[in-house]
Chain A
Amino acid sequence: MSFFKFTKSASLAALLALSAFPAFADEQHFPLQSYRVGPYASGGTGFFGGFIDYLNLLNDRDGGVNGVKLTWSEGETQYEVERGLEVYERLKSAPGIAAWNPLSVGIAYAMLDRVAEDRTPLITLNHGRTDTTDGRVFPYVFPLLLNPYSESSGIVNYIAERSGGHDKLKDLKIAVLYHGSPYGRETIPIYELLAEKYGFELSQIEVAHPGNEQQAQWQTIRRQRPDFVVLRGWGVMNPVALTTAQRTGFPADKIIGNVWSNSEEDVLPAGEAAKGYTAIVSVSAGTEAPVIQEVTEKVYGAGKGDLADKTRIGSVYHNLGVVNGILNTEALRIAQERFGKRALTGDEVRWGFEHLQLSPERVKELGAEGLFHSINVTWDNHEGEGLVAFQQWDGTKWSRISDWIAPDWALLRPIIEASSEAYAAEQGLKLRTAEDVDKVATD
C-alpha cells in the first residue's frame, strides 16, 4: 500500500469513527441506558419514550437548545446493573455528553464513582440514593424533584391531611409494605423517624423480590389492622399487592402508593381491586398540559413519536419522561447562558443543574403547568424542593385529588447531611463549599 493510499484510508477510518457519535461543535448528546425488554420494559419504554419525544420536539420546533441540536444513543440494560455499567463504558466516549439518566437505583448506585471521575451529571429523577441530595458531597448526582425521604414525608403529610391534621396521626396505625431491595429498604429509617415525631404506630413489612406472592404479608396486615398501608413497590409487586389486599379484605382506598407504584401498569392488571387506590406523584398523568398536546401534534403528527402505542401518551411514565426532558434541557439552557450557546462539557452542564430553578411561571411558559409544580435546585440541594400531589384511580384513569403538598424538608435535611457526611468521611472526600461551584472544567 502506498503512503498516499494508507493516509487516505486512515483518514477515512478516523472520519467514520468520529461519525459514529455526533459532532462536538453544535450537538449535545444524551446516552440512554434504556430498558425496552425484560421485566420492567413497560416503565422503560414509557419513560425513555417521553424523554426522546421531548428532545425531538425541541429539535423540530426550536432547532434544539439555542441552536445546539440534541442527540441521543441507546444501550439496552434490561434494568440490570451489569448491563447498565457496560452501556456506560461503551457510550461514555461519545463527545458532548450532557448527562446520564439510567432510571435505575441499582445502576445509579454503581455509577456514583464513575460520574464523579468523568465529571458528568447523573440524574435520578424521583429516585436514587437519598443523601445524594447533598451537593456538598455529591457534586454530579441529582435526585431531582423528589428523593425517597421527601416522598415518605409527603405521604405522611397527606395521611395527616386526610385524617384531619398532624395531631390526629398519633391515633393511627400505618403499615409500610416495601420491596425487598435497596430501593425498598431506603426509607426504613425515615418512616421510623416520622413515627417517632408524630406518634403513629408503625410496622414495616418486606416483600421478597419480585413480589409475585404476598399472601402472608397481607394476612399479617389484616391481623395488625392498620388505618393505612403505604405501598412502596415496583413492577409486578404493585398489582399483586392490590389484588392480594382485596383477597384479604383490605380496602384499596386506604392504600397509598409511592412514586414507583403510581403508574397505569401498576393498576390495570389489578382490575376492580385497584379502584379507589391513591398514589403520590411529582409529575401528573394526563394529556391536558400544553407540552403533552404539542408532543402529540408535532412529534407524533410528524410520525416521529417514540411510543409504539399512542394511547400511552400522557401516561405516568411517558409524562415523567417528558418532564425529565424539560429538566435536562432547561439545565442546558441555564448553563449556556453562563458558558455560551454551544455544546457544553459535562461539568458545565453540572453547573446548569446546580442552578436549575424553574418557578411556576416558568413551568407555565414551558407548557408544563399542572404537570409538575416547580423546582429549585441549588449547589447544595440537588433535589430542588419538588412538591407532591396525590392521584386516585377510578378504574379507567388517574385523577388528581389533592393540591400540591410540601414535604417536611427541615426535618429531613439533618438526616441527609449526617448520611452524606458519613459517606464523605468513609471515602475521604472534602466537603464542597459555595466557592467550589464555579470551578468548572471546560474539557
Chain B
Amino acid sequence: MMDGYEVLFFFEVLVGGLLAGLMYSLVAIGFVLIYKTSGVLNFAQGAMLLFAALTFVSLVNYGAPFLLAFAATFAIMIGLGFAIERTVLRPLVNRPPITLFMATLGLAYVIEGAAQLLWGTQVRRLDLGISDKPMEIAGLLISSFDLVAAAVAFGLVAALGAFFTRTRIGLAFRAVADDQFAALAVGLRLPRIWATVWAAAGFVALVAGLLWGARLGVQFSLSIIVLKALPVLLLGGFDSILGAVVGGLIIGASEKLAEVYLGPYVGGGIESWFAYVVALLFLLARPSGLFGQKIVERV
C-alpha cells in the first residue's frame, strides 16, 4: 500500500506527464493542420520548427526586439509556406499520398540544411523570460514554464477552433478537407488554401519552436521532436486538433508513469518506445485514432 508521500509522488509524475504531453501536442497540431486540408503527412514539420526557432533566436541575437523578431519570423514562415506550395505541392497535385509524403521527407532535409547554412550550427540559448523553477501547488512540485506552455497549447487550440468554425477561410479549409474536388467545383482556390494552411502550420511551428527551444536550447535536436508527436497523432487521429491534445495528454502521462514504475524492472529508458506501444494498442481498437475521421469505402 502506498504511503502519503508515494501518493503525492504518483500525482506529481502524472501531472508532469500531462503537462509534457501538451508540449508534444503543440508539435502534433502542426501535422494535423496540413493533414486535415491536404491529406499529406508533413514530415518536414520538425524541420520547420527548427527553422522557425533558429531564425527567431538569430534575429534576437542580432539585436531585434522580441516582438519584431517574432513578427519577422512569422513573415518568413508565411513566405516558406507559400514557397513550399508553389515549388513542391503544386507540381505534385494528384500524385499518390506516398509521393507527397516522400516529398515532405526530402523537404525536411532541405529545410534542416538551409537552416544550418543560414544561421550556423551552434547551440543557442533562448530565454523567453518564463521561469522554469518549480512551484508547489497542493503539495506537488510543478514547473511554471510547463503551466505557461499548457496555457499556450489550449489557447492555440481555442484560436484554431474559432478559426475553423467562424472565419470564411477556416470554413474553406474544412470544405477542402471534406472533399477537394467538391471544393474546387464550388470555386475554392486550392493552391491558395494550401499555401495558407502551410503558413498556419509555420505559425504553429514557430510557437512550438520557441517553447521547445527555450527548454532544450535552439539546436538541431529540435527537428527530431517530431518523433514525440507521431504517437500522439497515431492515438488522437491525424486530422483532429482535439485528438492531438487528448492524444498528447494520454501519451505524456502514460510514458512518464511507465518510465517511473515499469522502467526499473526492464532497465529503464523505455519512455520513447512505450509511447508507441500505447499508440499501437489504441490503434488496434480504433484504427483511425480516438478522434480521427472514420473513412468508409464502398467496394
Contact present for B221 and A235 (CB under 8 Å): yes
Taken residue by residue from 151 to 164, chain B's Cβ proximity to chain A (1 for < 8 Å, 0 otherwise) reads as: 00000000000000
Contact present for A247 and B256 (CB under 8 Å): no
Most buried by A among B126, B215, B225: B215
Taken residue by residue from 11 to 52, chain B's Cβ proximity to chain A (1 for < 8 Å, 0 otherwise) reads as: 011001100100000000000000000000000000000000
For residue A273, which residue of chain B has the nearest CB?
A: B132
Q: At the interface, yes or no: B124 with Cβ under 8 Å from chain A? A: yes
Please choose the segment from A52-60, A202-210, A335-343, A420-428 that sits at the chain B interface, where 4 or more of its residues have CB less than 8 A away.
A202-210
Query: Contact check: which of A223, A236, A247 meets B216 at CB < 8 Å?
Result: A236
Q: How large is the interface on A (under 10, 10 to 19, 20 to 34, 35 or more residues)?
A: 35 or more
Q: At the interface, yes or no: B260 with Cβ under 8 Å from chain A? A: yes
State how many angstroms separate the Cβ of B11 from the closest Cβ of chain A: 11
Contact present for B122 and A309 (CB under 8 Å): yes
Q: At the interface, yes or no: A212 with Cβ under 8 Å from chain B? A: yes
Q: At the interface, yes or no: A399 with Cβ under 8 Å from chain B? A: no
**Residues of B contacting A207 with CB < 8 Å?**
269
Q: At the interface, yes or no: B238 with Cβ under 8 Å from chain A? A: no
Contact present for A212 and B269 (CB under 8 Å): no
Taken residue by residue from 177 to 220, chain B's Cβ proximity to chain A (1 for < 8 Å, 0 otherwise) reads as: 00000000000000000000000000000000000000111111
**Residues of B contacting A312 with CB < 8 Å?**
122
Q: At the interface, yes or no: B90 with Cβ under 8 Å from chain A? A: no
**Residues of A contacting B256 with CB < 8 Å?**
215-216, 219
Q: At the interface, yes or no: A67 with Cβ under 8 Å from chain B? A: no
Contact present for B134 and A247 (CB under 8 Å): yes
Docked complex: B214-235 residues within 8 A CB-CB of A? 215-221, 224-225, 228
Q: At the interface, yes or no: B58 with Cβ under 8 Å from chain A? A: no
Taken residue by residue from 243 to 271, chain A's Cβ proximity to chain B (1 for < 8 Å, 0 otherwise) reads as: 10011110000000000000001001111
Contact present for B20 and A215 (CB under 8 Å): yes
Contact present for B121 and A42 (CB under 8 Å): yes
**Residues of B contacting A265 with CB < 8 Å?**
122-123
Contact present for A212 and B216 (CB under 8 Å): yes
Cα distance, A216 to B262, chains bound together (Å): 11
Contact present for B12 and A180 (CB under 8 Å): no
Q: At the interface, yes or no: A41 with Cβ under 8 Å from chain B? A: yes
**Residues of A contacting B267 with CB < 8 Å?**
206
Taken residue by residue from 84 to 117, chain B's Cβ proximity to chain A (1 for < 8 Å, 0 otherwise) reads as: 0000000000000000000000000000010010
State how many angstroms separate the Cβ of B143 from the closest Cβ of chain A: 4
Contact present for B9 and A223 (CB under 8 Å): yes
Q: Size of chain B's interface in residues, with CB distance under 8 A?
A: 45
**Residues of A contacting B224 with CB < 8 Å?**
39, 210, 212
Contact present for B219 and A42 (CB under 8 Å): yes
Cα distance, A368 to B34, chains bound together (Å): 56
State how many angstroms separate the Cβ of B49 from the closest Cβ of chain A: 12
Docked complex: B256-279 residues within 8 A CB-CB of A? 256, 259-260, 263, 267-273
**Residues of A contacting B139 with CB < 8 Å?**
none
Chain B interface secondary structure, helix, strand, loop or mixed?
helix
State how many angstroms separate the Cβ of A319 from the closest Cβ of chain B: 17
Cα distance, A210 to B212, chains bound together (Å): 14
Q: At the interface, yes or no: B294 with Cβ under 8 Å from chain A? A: no
Taken residue by residue from 169 to 194, chain A's Cβ proximity to chain B (1 for < 8 Å, 0 otherwise) reads as: 00000000000100000000000000
State how many angstroms separate the Cβ of B111 from the closest Cβ of chain A: 13
Contact present for B271 and A213 (CB under 8 Å): yes
Contact present for B120 and A308 (CB under 8 Å): yes
Contact present for A208 and B271 (CB under 8 Å): yes
**Residues of B contacting A213 with CB < 8 Å?**
20, 228, 271
State how many angstroms separate the Cβ of A86 from the closest Cβ of chain B: 17
Q: At the interface, yes or no: A36 with Cβ under 8 Å from chain B? A: yes
Q: At the interface, yes or no: B145 with Cβ under 8 Å from chain A? A: yes
State how many angstroms separate the Cβ of A43 from the closest Cβ of chain B: 9
Q: At the interface, yes or no: A429 with Cβ under 8 Å from chain B? A: no
**Residues of A contacting B270 with CB < 8 Å?**
208
Query: Contact check: which of A38, A208, A246 meets B220 at CB < 8 Å?
Result: A38
Cα distance, A40 to B123, chains bound together (Å): 9
Contact present for B217 and A239 (CB under 8 Å): yes
**Residues of A contacting B228 with CB < 8 Å?**
212-213
Most buried by A among B9, B143, B218, B269: B269
Contact present for B217 and A206 (CB under 8 Å): no
Contact present for A210 and B221 (CB under 8 Å): yes
Contact present for A216 and B271 (CB under 8 Å): yes
Contact present for A269 and B217 (CB under 8 Å): yes
Q: At the interface, yes or no: B133 with Cβ under 8 Å from chain A? A: yes
State how many angstroms separate the Cβ of B51 from the closest Cβ of chain A: 14
For residue B6, which residue of chain A has the nearest CB?
A: A223
Query: Contact check: which of B127, B220, B260 meets A219 at CB < 8 Å?
Result: B260
Q: At the interface, yes or no: A107 with Cβ under 8 Å from chain B? A: no
Cα distance, A189 to B13, chains bound together (Å): 29
Docked complex: A66-108 residues within 8 A CB-CB of B? none
Docked complex: A138-172 residues within 8 A CB-CB of B? none
**Residues of B contacting A25 with CB < 8 Å?**
none
**Residues of B contacting A236 with CB < 8 Å?**
216-217, 219, 221
Contact present for A271 and B125 (CB under 8 Å): yes
Contact present for A180 and B269 (CB under 8 Å): yes
Cα distance, A124 to B279, chains bound together (Å): 40
Q: At the interface, yes or no: B175 with Cβ under 8 Å from chain A? A: no
Contact present for A247 and B143 (CB under 8 Å): yes
27 contacts between A and B (CB under 8 A): A37-B113, A42-B122, A206-B267, A206-B268, A208-B271, A212-B216, A213-B20, A213-B228, A215-B256, A216-B16, A216-B17, A217-B268, A220-B263, A235-B221, A243-B132, A246-B133, A247-B132, A247-B133, A247-B143, A248-B141, A268-B125, A269-B123, A269-B219, A270-B125, A270-B217, A273-B132, A308-B120
Interface residues of A (CB under 8 A from B): 36-42, 45, 180, 204-210, 212-213, 215-217, 219-220, 222-223, 235-236, 239-240, 243, 246-249, 265, 268-271, 273, 308-309, 312
Known: A216-B259, A223-B9, A270-B125. 19 other contacts (CB 8 A): A39-B224, A41-B121, A42-B219, A206-B263, A208-B269, A210-B221, A213-B228, A215-B17, A216-B17, A219-B13, A220-B263, A236-B216, A246-B133, A249-B134, A265-B122, A268-B125, A269-B123, A273-B132, A309-B122
